[in-house]
Amino acid sequence: MPSAARYAIIIRLKCFAAAARQRGYSMKKKKETPAPAVRRCSVGGQAVMEGVMMKSDVGIAMAVRRPDGTIVKSYEKFRSKAQKGTFLGLPVVRGVVAFVESLKTGMNTTTKSAELLGEEFEEEPSKFEKWLADKLHIDIMDAVMGVAVVLGVALAVGLFMLLPQFISSLIFSKSDSTYIWRSLLEGGLRLAIYIGYLFLVSAIKDIRRIFMYHGAEHKTIACYEAGVDELTPENAKKYKRLHPRCGTNYLFLVMAISIITLTLVDIVMHTLGFPPEGMSKALTFLIRFGVRIVFLPIIAGLSYEVLRGAAKTDNWFTKIIRAPGMALQLITTREPDLDMLEVAIYSFYLAMGEKNPLEEKKLEEERLKKEAEEAARAAEEAAKAAEEAAKEAAEAEDEVKVVEAPHEEPERAVPAKDDEA
C-alpha cells in the first residue's frame, strides 16, 4: 500500500507539471551544484588480525589495534613485477602475477599483524621446515611461511579442483556421451563448495571479526573515492561495505570462468579423441586433473582482466557481472564499528603516502593534554612552593618578633634606712 500511494503521488505530480507547462507556467528548479568527480585509487586491502592491510602501487601499509587501544603501524616498499611495458605486465599475464603476489602478501601480512598485535607463535618449526631452511640457506620463518603457502594452495586445489572432479567422475563415466554435463556439474560443485566454505567460516567468531575489518576496508576506500565527505570514521560508516574490486568478486569470477573455460577444454579434448580406447579410468582422471592445473593460471589471469574491466565502468552489463560477487560480500563483510574504521583509515593514508588528519588531530590533542598536565603540575608545584615560602616567612617573622621584644629589668630592692636613734 505505501508503494502504491507513492506511485500515485508521483503520477499526480507529473500530471500537474504537464498541465502547468501547457498553461505557460514555468517550473523553476534550484540550481544544482555538480556532483564531485569520483576519485579512483589503486589501493586494495585485506583484513588481518585486529587490523587492515592496504596496498598501493608503491608500498604495503598495515595498522593494527592492540588490546590497550593503541594503533601500531608498519610500512614497507613494494613494487609489483607486473609493470607496464614488460612481459609480466601484459594482459592475462599480469593477472597471474597479481594472483601469486597476493598469496605471498596475504601470508606475510597475517604473520606481521600477529607480531604487531603482540602475539608470538609458540609452536616450534618442524624438522622438515628446519631442514628446508638449512638446505635452501633461508631464514627459518621464511621456510615456515613457504610451507604454509604450499599447504594452503594444496588445500585449495584439493577442495575446489580435485573434489568436484572426483564427484563428477563418479556420476558420469568416461564413455558417457554427456561429457559436457560432467564438466558443468564439476563447475557447479566447485561453486557450491566455495559458497558453502564461506558460510562455514563465517560462523567462527574470530573470522566474523576479521569480516568486520573487511567491511571497514571497503567503507574507507569508498568514502575516499566518493570525494564528498572528509575521510573520518563517522563519514566512512555511511558508505556501503560492498566494493566492486573486492577479492570475493575475483574468486567468484575464477569459479565462473573456470566453468566456461574447462567445459570448452573438455569439448576440444573430446573432439581430439580423448580418452582413447583402452585408457584406464585412473589415468583418464589424472590427465584431466593435470589439464585443469595447467589451465588454472590462465583462468586466474582472465578473471583478473574481467574484474578490472567491470570495476572501471558502471553500466548494466558490468553490474550484472559484479552482482554475484557483490552478493557474496554480504557473507565476507560485516558492519564495522568506529574503532575499526579508524584503524582502516590509518592504514589507508599510510599506503597513499598522505598525511593522516586523524593522527595529526590525535597527536595535537595529546600534545595539548600533555601541556595542560605539565602546566597543572607546574602550578601545583608553584602553589606548594608559595605555601612553603609563606610558611618560612611566617616562621622568620616569629623569630624576629622574639629577637626584637624589649627586656624588662627586674626592680632592684631599695635598702631600708635605719631609724635615727
* Nearest Cα residue to 223 out of 339, 341, 308: 341
| Any domain includes 186 | yes
3-state secondary structure of 162: helix
| Any domain includes 349 | yes
Cell numbers standing for residue 37: 568527480
Give the pTM: 0.76
pLDDT of residue 390: 83
Sequence-ordered list of residues with C-beta below 8 angstroms from that of 78, at least 6 positions apart, any chain: 55, 58, 59, 60, 105
Decide if pLDDT at 128 tops 90: no
pLDDT in tens, 195-227: 999 999 999 998 999 999 999 999 999 999 988
- The boundaries of the domain holding residue 356 are 44-363
| Any domain includes 202 | yes
Binning pLDDT at 50, 70 and 90, where does residue 298 land? very high
* Nearest Cα residue to 215 out of 253, 256, 248, 251: 248
Least confident of 118-122, 327-331, 380-384: 118-122
| Any domain includes 266 | yes
pLDDT in tens, 242-289: 998 898 999 999 999 999 999 999 899 988 888 887 788 889 889 999
| Any domain includes 402 | no
Share of the chain above pLDDT 90, in %: 38
Q: Indicate the number of domains in the chain.
A: 1
| Any domain includes 419 | no
β-strands 51-55, 44-48 pairing: antiparallel
| Any domain includes 391 | no
pLDDT in tens, 160-183: 889 999 998 888 865 556 788 888
| Any domain includes 339 | yes
| C-beta separation of 182 from 259 below 8 A | no
pLDDT in tens, 2-49: 444 443 444 444 444 444 444 444 444 444 444 444 567 778 889 998
Averaged pLDDT of the chain: 81
pLDDT of residue 57: 87
